[in-house]
Each structure stands twice: as C-alpha cells, then as structure tokens.
Amino acid sequence: MDKNIGAPFDICFVDADSIIYRIALKTDISLAKATEYYDKAIEDIEWNTVATEVKVALKGKGNFRYDIAEDYKGSRSTKPVDEALVERRKDLNEYAYSQGHFQSDNCEADDVVSIWAQEALDSGVNFVIAHIDKDIDMVEGWHYNFTKETLYYIDAAEGWYNMCKQMLTGDSTDNIQGLRGIGPKTAQKLLADVDTEDMVAKVQEVWQEHHPEDWEARLEVCWNLIYMRRNWNSFHQLTIEQELS
C-alpha cells in the first residue's frame, strides 16, 4: 500500500540490491515485467519518502573486502548455484545501470549510500536512506525500511552502538566471524551501561579475553568487513585506531 510517511526530504539514497534480488527470484515473469517491477519499487520509495530527488546504488564489479578476507560472503550451502537467478540479477543490474543508477564497483551498494549520507550530513542536506540492511543502521540519519514501510531515525550514539554490537557478533549471513557464543542478546548485555566513548575499548577487551594471542588482527578483519565506509578513499583495509579515533 502506497502512503506518504515522511516529511519531505531533499534526497533519498536507495540501496537497491535487495530489490533486484527479490525481483530476480520471480523466474516465471519476463525481463520486461521484471524491469517494470523494479521501476515501480523505486517510484514507491520516492513517493513514500516524499523525496525531491532519488539516488540509487546497486552492486557493481569487485569488492575490496575480498582482499581482506577471501572467504567473505562464503557459503556453507551445498545447494547448486541457481544459474537462472544469477542471469536474471545480471540483466536487472544492467537495466538499472542504463537508467543512470550507480554501479558500486570495488565496494558494496551500502558503502555508497553510507558515503552519500556522510556527504549530506557534512553539507546539511536533509536526506533519508532507503534500505532493509541492518549494516546501514550504523549510519547516522533518517532511514526508511521499504519492506515494512517504516521511517526511523538513528542518532550518532545509536549508530556507534549498532557498529560495536556487530563488532562482537560478526555477521553469519556474510560469513563475517565474530566471537563464538556471542549473539545479539549477549552483545547487548556486554554493552549495557557502557558510555559511547568507551564502547570500542569494551569490544577490544572482550576480543582480547577470547583470543589473547591474536585478538587485534581478528577484530580488525571483523570490523573492516562490517564497517560501512564514509569516504571514497577508504576501499581498503583500515585500522580501528585511525578511523574511529
């Protein structure tokens, strides 16, 4: 159901990867119909966020994270690759590029919308990010979940907390190794009552307890894989001290 849910935004940044994937699953429809679904999804986001402008990012070629961890996004699944799905996603991506939507080469679409958001924050532009990816919830600003049709705000402290929580849990979906035995509830307990400025130190302390010999290297890999970049020159392995100090 279409409904205007937000105050007018100057611009809406869309992570369209999940839109492409969901449409590509509909293998019983033609490519022409699939592109219609894609256009409608973007139009609905523009309408629902009352955005003056929409910028869309989606998967491109390569990803610097594979240079940091070869098994990034590795799958334990024994199911054969669905070639039809792969081909449909490729065709939809090519269509989106032809519409001027941003090809996120050497990174991910969520990195791109995070960078756009940081640029908007720095410039005082009123923006919203449309996505369904929990990783982007570490980014300060307005967010729109286009599946649930909900608008919510992440302030700087909450974004920092969300990042630190993932530094403990990792992300099994993308094969990002966190700490064994620490899920979201345990991470929440560990960070409870910890001041924002002390959270990274707390995370480092917990990692050191679990891996006393090589905790720094392990944590740095985990953090690099989950951390949404904030500028165009950061598509490589960063150090926690340099980036978060």
Tokens coding 5: 């849910």
Residues 51-88: tens digit of each pLDDT = 999 999 999 999 999 999 999 987 555 567 788 888 99
CATH 1.10.150.20 at 157-244, yes or no: yes
How far is the C-alpha of 98 from the C-alpha of 120, rounded, in Å? 25
- If one counts every other C-beta atom within 10 angstroms of the C-beta of residue 123, the result is 9
Residue span(s) of the chain under CATH 3.40.50.1010 come to 9-154
Nearest to 137 by CA among 118, 167, 120, 161: 161
Residues 193-236: tens digit of each pLDDT = 999 999 999 999 999 999 999 999 999 999 999 999 999 999 99
Q: What is the pLDDT of residue 75?
A: 57
Architecture of 9-154 per CATH? 3-Layer(aba) Sandwich (3.40)
Q: What is the pLDDT of residue 4?
A: 64
How far is the C-alpha of 100 from the C-alpha of 95, rounded, in Å? 9
Longest dimension (CA), the chain: 56
pLDDT at 1 over 50: no
pLDDT bin (cut points 50, 70, 90) of residue 29 is confident
Residue span(s) of the chain under CATH 1.10.150.20 come to 157-244
Nearest to 105 by CA among 57, 55, 60: 60
pTM above 0.85, yes or no: yes
Q: What is the pLDDT of residue 5?
A: 65
How far is the C-alpha of 164 from the C-alpha of 147, rounded, in Å? 26
State mean pLDDT over 92-102. Answer: 98
Residues 156-188: tens digit of each pLDDT = 999 999 999 999 999 988 999 999 999 999 999
Percent of the chain with pLDDT over 70: 95
Q: What is the pLDDT of residue 104?
A: 98
pLDDT bin (cut points 50, 70, 90) of residue 154 is very high
pLDDT at 245 over 80: no
